[in-house]
Amino acid sequence: MLEDVPRDPFADDPNDPSSAMGELDDAEPLTAAERDEAITDLADVEVFRSLLEPQGVLGLVLDCPECGEQHYFDWELLRGNLRQMIENGRPQVHEPAFHPDPADYVSWEYARGYVDGVIDTEERH
Ligand SMILES: [Zn+2]
């Protein structure tokens, strides 16, 4: 009976032209406020990475605005996404790390708290 179902001609094609067109349509320029926010986020990510990567933290776990689930992003992916947003105005690439170990990732709030704690400690010395 499966033979009676008409096959999607692009079902096995990773370069499905219809999905590629959809991605291009989603690209919108950032507002000035969004761009400022992305630049601030990029600076935060660099600080988080410099302090947390030596502790064995591989990246951040973030709530995804698109699907409402949590995704794991390594440092390079975070930086690449933000740079792409700033330069091209593209929405964040929906491409979380593959098979992440949740123990290797921390939330943005944790990273922020950790950095603030380190700065406090350094200022007291
Ligand atoms: Zn998602």
Digit-by-digit pLDDT tens for the chain (125 residues) are 555 666 665 566 555 554 444 445 556 788 999 999 999 999 999 999 999 999 999 999 998 878 888 889 999 999 998 998 898 887 656 667 778 899 999 999 999 999 999 888 877 76
Ligand 1 centre distance from Cα of residue 70 (Å): 7
d(CA 87, CA 42): 12
pLDDT at 20: 46
Place of tokens 């933000």: 82
pLDDT at 16: 53
Q: Which two tokens stand for residue 74?
A: 């390594």
pLDDT at 4: 64
Ligand 1 centre distance from Cα of residue 77 (Å): 14
pLDDT at 15: 58
pLDDT at 102: 92
Residues 6+ apart with CB under 8 A from 82: 38, 41, 42, 45
Ligand 1 centre distance from Cα of residue 66 (Å): 5
Q: Which two tokens stand for residue 24?
A: 């291009």
Ligand 1 centre distance from Cα of residue 93 (Å): 10
Ligand 1 centre distance from Cα of residue 3 (Å): 34
Ligand 1 centre distance from Cα of residue 15 (Å): 21
Place of tokens 């400690």: 121
